[in-house]
Structure 1
Amino acid sequence: MALFDSLFIRLTSRRIGQDSTGNTYWMARSRRDTYGRPMRRITYAGAPDPTTVPPEWWGWLHHTTDSPMDMNAPRKPWQKPHLPNLTGSAEAWHPPGMAAPGRPQVAGDYEAWTPGR
């Protein structure tokens, strides 16, 4: 994030909280959106990547909830930890037999789709 943007947010907003990845969430003191609600902002811990925002904060950021969900609340067995978009990384999902970073393609294991078959 540009230095000016970060400084502007810190001067005009109050800090609401921080998530497990280090992103910090802010609410504007006086500035309002087109619906008259206080603007909610985020400063990213690293590169600006919206996929790093966990569901606990996504709802608050988009005015779906009035307060962020409790990140320390017990999780249901079917809930998995939030992961950012892994596309293009070594952890991205690849079909079996398809070449992936650090994994050579095995000949004959994967056949690409061709139109007209």
Structure 2
Amino acid sequence: MVRSEPSECICRRHRWVEYAQKDRYNASQVPPEWHGWLHYITDHTGDELLMLKPRRYGVEHKENFSGEGEELIYHSKGHALNPGQRDWTRYQPWQPSKTS
């Protein structure tokens, strides 16, 4: 389910998706109507766009089921559910040189 921001939110707040199953998700589960809102292309939510969308288009959106199976679900390298997760850092901290 894609959540809408409350109107009193601080600007620059990010938009996000809350998937039904937190350990099994796929980007294709986000309907195209919500894609534009999620990526700041439009401020109209997916529900608003569905009301405006003409019904002449053929098939309704379905998620991609071709990636069934745990090995086909993508998790980034730092994701807790990635089986190949390793200890890594994004940066190397600066160590000041000791001068006496």
TM-score by length of 1: 0.42
